[in-house]
Amino acid sequence: MTKMLIIGPPGSGKGTQASRISERLGIVAISTGDIFRANVKEETPLGLEAKKYIDNGDFVPDSVTNNMVRDRLSKDDVEPGFLLDGYPRTTAQVDELDSILAESEDQLDVVLQLTADDEELVKRLLGRAQQEGRADDNETVIRHRLDLYHEQTEAVVSRYEERGIVTKVDGLGAIDDVTNRIMEALKSVTA
């Protein structure tokens, strides 16, 4: 059973690698970003609320995100393990996740941190925005999201480093190369 979190700056390949890790380890990948985008597209009340924040490059408020994650982690498909992508992003969310997991006497096994240079990420995200027509990815918003990551999310990594469960992997390079580095780094944790 592997309960893990993938964390890294926007554009570091978390979504791509999360689906590959999920497939290889036989665990469900849970992406808050995908859930938010689906709700925005369907114009649900949650989607309309989330869209205001997403369009500005801001994080969706903890209250909305925490309830969504709590509900998702109550589903049967997480029993063999899970990989969270996009949560927690703040230390308050770390505390909430600890509380959610404690209710079922669980805890995270590993936090996989993808690392990457900011300027490379800006180039990557601008390219993705052009390819996919993503309105939420212009240079101003991308740099704002990177700033938020550095301001808030790095504190999350520090909290997990104190617990000794962070594994860092370079997120730049060919997708297969990054996947191979990740799987090699996870061998000792998931064995």
**Is residue 57 annotated as involved in ligand binding?**
no
C-alpha distances in Å from residue 144, one per residue of 50, 66, 118, 183: 17, 23, 11, 31
Is 128 one of the annotated binding-site residues?
yes
33 carries a ligand binding annotation: no
- Residue ranges of E strands in 41-165: 81-85, 110-115
Catalytic residue among 24, 41, 75, 134: 134
**Cα atoms in the Cβ-side hemisphere of radius 13 Å centred on 148:** 16
Exactly one of 70, 128, 159, 181 is catalytic; which is it?
128
133 is in an annotated binding site: no
Q: Considering the candidates 3, 20, 72, 89, report the single residue annotated as catalytic.
A: 89
72 is in an annotated binding site: no
Residue 12, marked binder? yes
d(CA 108, CA 59): 23
Residue 163 annotated in active site: no
Residue 16, marked binder: yes
81 is in an annotated binding site: no
Please indicate if the annotation marks 110 as binding a ligand: no
| Residues 149, 4: Cα–Cα separation, whole Å | 19
* The one catalytic residue among 14, 20, 51, 72: 14
Q: Is 164 annotated as a binding residue?
A: no
Nearest to 59 by CA among 93, 27, 102, 84: 93
* Residue 14 falls in the annotated catalytic set: yes
What does the alpha-carbon distance between residue 56 and residue 136 come to, in Å, rounded to a whole number? Answer: 7
Do residues 185 and 169 touch, judged by C-beta distance below 8 A? Answer: yes
Residue 15, annotated as binding a ligand: yes
Output b/e per residue, 103-134; b: 16+ Cβ within 10 A: eeebebebbbbbebebeebbebbeeebeeeee
For this structure, is 145 an active site residue? yes
Active site residues: 14, 89, 128, 134, 145
Annotated binding site: 11-16, 32, 37, 58-60, 86-89, 93, 128, 134, 145, 173
Annotated binding site for AMP: 32, 37, 58-60, 86-89, 93, 134, 145
Annotated binding site for ATP: 11-16, 128, 173
